[in-house]
Amino acid sequence: MPDDARTAPERWQPTVSESRDAERRPRILVADDDPAVRLLTVDALTPEGYDVFEAEDGHAALEAFERHRPDLVLCDVMMPGTDGFGVCSAMRAHPHGAHVPIMMLTGLDDVDSIERAFAHGATEFVVKPINWTLLPRRVRFVLRASEAAEQLRRSEERYALAARGANDGLWDWDLRTDRVFYAPRWAEMLGLSASHLDSSPGEWLARLHPDDEERVRCEIAEHVAGETDHFESEYRMRDVDGDWRWMLARGLCVRNAAGNAHRFAGSQTDITKRKDAEAQLLHDAFHDPLTGLPNRALFLDRLRHCLELAQRRPGFQFAVLFMDLDRFKVINDSLGHLLGDRMLIEIAGRIRSVLRTGDTLARLGGDEFTILFEDIADVTDVTRLAARVQQQIAQPLKLEEQQIVTSASMGIAVSATGYTKPQEMLRDADAAMYRAKATGRGRYVIFDAEMHSHVVNVLQTEMELRLAVERREFRIVYQPIIDLQTNAISGFEALVRWQHPTRGLLTPDAFLAVAEESRLIVPIGRQVLREACAQMQTWREQDARADGWFVSINLSSQELGQPDLLEVVADVIRTTRLPPQCLKLELTETSLIENKDRALSAMVALRELGIQISIDDFGTGYSSFNYLHRFPFDILKIDRSFISGIDDSPEREEIVRAIITLAHNLGLQVVAEGSETARDLARLRGLPCEYAQGFSISEPRASQDIEQLFLAAAPAARAG
């Protein structure tokens, strides 16, 4: 072949095996600055049927490589100019040099030189002085190995071409090396590029839906162990856009004579369209065709699931609300069934708009709706939601110039009664609904047995709370708040716990509602205020680093409404000697709503003492933004519902960014509460937020634990 044909990169070049087929003599390039070595190499290899070309230095070697395109290179390590390592690297970078065998000739028999040669792409090495009798045999062995490798590459190319031609995504798992070949089609199904996939099983298994992963791994393990004749599984995989696609995988293990699997190969098919069709059929079977809501069958199934869950989780509570629209038959008969259907659709949308995530709204038929409230603390959760639903339904509705006003009668049954069958719970809620209609409509009634049980429990908790106040059974824990810029502790939020004599340490979820309803929250709150301020001053006196620390304490609506609030706070500051700027009081939207005028005057007076005021749980209420400019806040605490998981939600991050910008525009500092993971905290560091708290920083801890972690670890002398 002419030299110009060999040097044109766009033209085809023969492989080693193809060259042999054409009976071309193998070409050997020897590069060595020693003429004797070059001469002896020519004398040793030419009689064996090789064409040998010579180069006296590195530069000449590269020129000869480009000109002759050898089948093998013998290259000295120590040469003037470019040494053998550099020549080897340059040849490997050449389009023709990726697979050409290179044998290094060296007098350096140390391990470092050998490893360096291989690192630069050498195939083999020969130590000087050279055994000229054995050299032709070593060259022949290396050329045969190179030809075998080339045949393997061609075989792999044919396999890859066949895989690309198939519509299914092929995969081939070498169980001995734990490496997997994924065909391009396999990657395309997920919107991926095959070049970006590695050959680990994780490329497959890590993309499985969390609900499918364990099952699929078990199915694979069972087949590899020989417990099943073949592997077949349907599962969901996450594509490049984060969407879930359904896949069907079939495969078979290759086993040795002993029956042990060493290879596992198969195909993957995208069955998303089929699954979507099946899902639509299933949806139609369990949903109301008019409103799209769950029907009776699905509602009872979910209710049955809650009953089973309550058997496994003793503290799990839920409730059923049975609702019937008042005077719907009259409205439907007057306006016609078409407008009656539109009214039901509108009512369904209004109800759904005020429900929590996880609650189930169903239409049983006609104007009867049911709601399943899952994971409630007590019956007051349900009554609050019921009141919100009634408010939505009572709003005037306009249908074709007709303004309609309606209401709903509701009955509530709560799981604490001890139901075992979903039909029984639905029956009791239905009976309570009829009781509501009989007593005047537009109201709700709780099934009597549960109402009685709730009252007994509330009275019992209230009695125990009164004793707890007398016995000082409440404990305070402290959760650090850090400066996001310096990562240093800036303060702590003081949180109350109840050391119940029989139930152990209780969080506020177990008693706060009863404490507020019974107004016992006032003495409890004052105990927390006094002890937390005293503890903070103790830390300040113990360690100079605590000088800038503050303690943040929640103030309930009942405490805010106390006429002697200012005197109590001033007395605590005076007796504990805590500087006012080291105390921050947190208020919720609820405490502001209940008495706006008293709240405003109290806040103004507290700030005059030098105390800063925070709005807590910002973003969870209906009027949070409205209160920002009406009340004199210093700090805004973003509710944990926006912060937890912020790393996985760009939309949530943008909401948080907007809240921070709004707060800063109003001159407020911002605390992000609920940073649960290191990823949440890392994301917050990229936002202009001053402070953060949450489990990614520290869980709430007792005072002695705080001292051990943040003070005793590196004591510092008091300043001054």
Q: According to the model, what pLDDT value does residue 446 have?
A: 87
Q: According to the model, what pLDDT value does residue 293 have?
A: 94
CB contact burial 322-339 (16+ within 10 A = b; e otherwise): bbbbbebeebbeebeeeb
**Torsion region of 327: left, alpha or beta (phi above 0 gives left; psi -120 to 50 gives alpha):** left
Q: If you average pLDDT over residues 287-314, what whole number do you get?
A: 92
Q: According to the model, what pLDDT value does residue 645 have?
A: 81
Residue of 582, 580, 573 lying closest to 552 (CA atoms): 582
Q: Does residue 5 have a pLDDT over 60?
A: no
Q: According to the model, what pLDDT value does residue 621 have?
A: 64
Q: Does residue 212 have a pLDDT over 50?
A: yes
- What is the C-alpha to C-alpha distance for residues 619 and 613, in angstroms, rounded to an integer? 17
Q: Does residue 156 have a pLDDT over 80?
A: no
Q: Does residue 652 have a pLDDT over 50?
A: yes
> Which pLDDT tens digit goes with each residue over 550-589?
999 999 988 988 999 999 999 999 999 999 999 999 998 7
Specify the DSSP element, H or E, that contains 442.
Answer: none
**Torsion region of 529: left, alpha or beta (phi above 0 gives left; psi -120 to 50 gives alpha):** alpha
Q: Please name the residues in contact with 262: beta carbons below 8 A apart, sequence gap of 6 or more.
A: 174, 175, 176, 254, 255, 256
Q: According to the model, what pLDDT value does residue 531 have?
A: 96
Higher pLDDT, 316 or 624: 316
Q: According to the model, what pLDDT value does residue 454 have?
A: 53
Q: CA angle, corner 240, sides to 238 and 242, nearest 5?
A: 50
Spatial contact of 175 and 263, defined as CB atoms under 8 Å apart: yes
Q: Does residue 720 have a pLDDT over 70?
A: no
pTM: 0.43
Question: Domain 287-446: which topology?
Answer: Alpha-Beta Plaits (3.30.70)
Question: Domain 166-276: which topology?
Answer: Beta-Lactamase (3.30.450)
Return the percentage of the chain with pLDDT > 90, whole number: 56
Higher pLDDT, 650 or 215: 215
Return the percentage of the chain with pLDDT > 70, whole number: 91
Spatial contact of 647 and 696, defined as CB atoms under 8 Å apart: no
Q: If you average pLDDT over residues 23-28, what whole number do you get?
A: 86
- What is the C-alpha to C-alpha distance for residues 547 and 553, in angstroms, rounded to an integer? 18
Q: If you average pLDDT over residues 333-349, what whole number do you get?
A: 87
Confidence band for 711, pLDDT divided at 50, 70 and 90: low
- When mean pLDDT is compared across 26-35, 280-289, 323-332, the lowest value belongs to 323-332
Q: Which residue has the tokens 């649960």?
A: 676
Classify domain 471-711 by CATH number. 3.20.20.450
> Which pLDDT tens digit goes with each residue over 161-193?
665 555 688 899 999 999 999 988 899 999 988
Q: According to the model, what pLDDT value does residue 594 have?
A: 62
Domain ranges for the chain, please list them. 3-157, 166-276, 287-446, 471-711
Alpha helices in 58-110 (DSSP H): 58-68, 84-93
Averaged pLDDT of the chain: 87
Q: According to the model, what pLDDT value does residue 2 have?
A: 43
- When mean pLDDT is compared across 18-22, 307-311, 550-554, 583-587, the lowest value belongs to 18-22
Residue of 500, 502, 501 lying closest to 511 (CA atoms): 500
Q: Which residue has the tokens 């709560």?
A: 414
Higher pLDDT, 381 or 418: 381
Q: Does residue 208 have a pLDDT over 90?
A: yes
**Both tokens assigned to 397:** 């509705």
> Which pLDDT tens digit goes with each residue over 421-480?
999 899 889 888 887 887 777 889 888 765 555 556 777 889 999 999 999 999 999 999
Confidence band for 12, pLDDT divided at 50, 70 and 90: very low
Confidence band for 597, pLDDT divided at 50, 70 and 90: confident
> Which pLDDT tens digit goes with each residue over 217-232?
999 999 999 999 999 9
**Both tokens assigned to 486:** 């310096």
Higher pLDDT, 22 or 161: 161
Confidence band for 399, pLDDT divided at 50, 70 and 90: confident
| Ordered DSSP codes for 562-628 | -TTHHHHHHHHHHHHT--GGGEEEEE-HHHHHHTHHHHHHHHHHHHHTT-EEEEEEETSSSSHHHHH
* Cα end-to-end distance, the chain, whole Å: 92
> Which pLDDT tens digit goes with each residue over 44-94?
999 999 999 999 999 999 999 999 999 999 999 888 888 899 999 999 999
Q: If you average pLDDT over residues 644-663, what whole number do you get?
A: 87
Residue of 395, 385, 287 lying closest to 343 (CA atoms): 395
25: phi then psi, degrees, rounded to nearest 5: -65, 135
- What is the C-alpha to C-alpha distance for residues 672 and 694, in angstroms, rounded to an integer? 8
In CATH terms, 3-157 corresponds, of 3.40.50.300, 3.30.70.2660, 3.40.50.720, 3.40.50.2300, to 3.40.50.2300
